[in-house]
C-alpha cells in the first residue's frame, strides 16, 4: 500500500496528540514512554518521506497565492 506524505504526517500528529492525552489522563509511564518513542521515530520517518516525495510543480514565487492573484494573470 502506497501512502502519500501527508498521510504519514496525519498519523504522526494523531500519535503525538494521543501521547499528550495519555499523559494528562495518568496512563502508566511505560505506555506514555513507548508511545512517545514511537511517535518521535515516526516523525523522523514522516519528515524523510516528505523530503523524498517525488513532487514537482510549475509554480514560482511570482505566482504568489492562487486564490488572490496580485501579479501576472493569464
pLDDT tens-place string over residues 7-64: 989 999 999 999 999 999 999 999 999 999 999 999 999 999 888 888 787 877 776 6
- Per-residue confidence (pLDDT) for residue 72, from 0 to 100: 58
Q: Report the C-alpha gap between 46 and 60 in whole angstroms.
A: 25
- Per-residue confidence (pLDDT) for residue 20, from 0 to 100: 94
- Per-residue confidence (pLDDT) for residue 68, from 0 to 100: 65
Q: Report the C-alpha gap between 18 and 36 in whole angstroms.
A: 9
Q: Report the C-alpha gap between 50 and 10 in whole angstroms.
A: 12
Q: What is the DSSP letter of 68?
A: S
Domain range list for the chain: 5-63
The DSSP H or E segment spanning 8 is helix 5-24
Helix axes 29-52, 5-24, angle to 10 degrees: 160
Tell if the pTM clears 0.85, that is, is over it.
Answer: no
- Per-residue confidence (pLDDT) for residue 59, from 0 to 100: 75
- Per-residue confidence (pLDDT) for residue 23, from 0 to 100: 94
Amino acid at each position: 500500500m502506497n501512502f502519500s506524505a501527508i498521510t504519514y504526517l496525519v498519523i504522526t500528529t494523531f500519535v503525538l496528540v494521543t501521547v499528550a492525552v495519555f499523559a494528562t489522563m495518568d496512563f502508566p509511564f511505560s505506555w506514555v514512554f513507548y508511545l512517545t518513542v514511537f511517535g518521535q521515530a515516526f516523525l523522523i520517518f514522516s519528515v524523510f518521506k516528505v523530503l523524498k516525495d517525488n513532487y514537482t510543480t510549475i509554480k514560482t514565487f511570482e505566482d504568489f497565492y492562487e486564490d488572490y492573484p496580485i501579479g501576472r494573470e493569464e
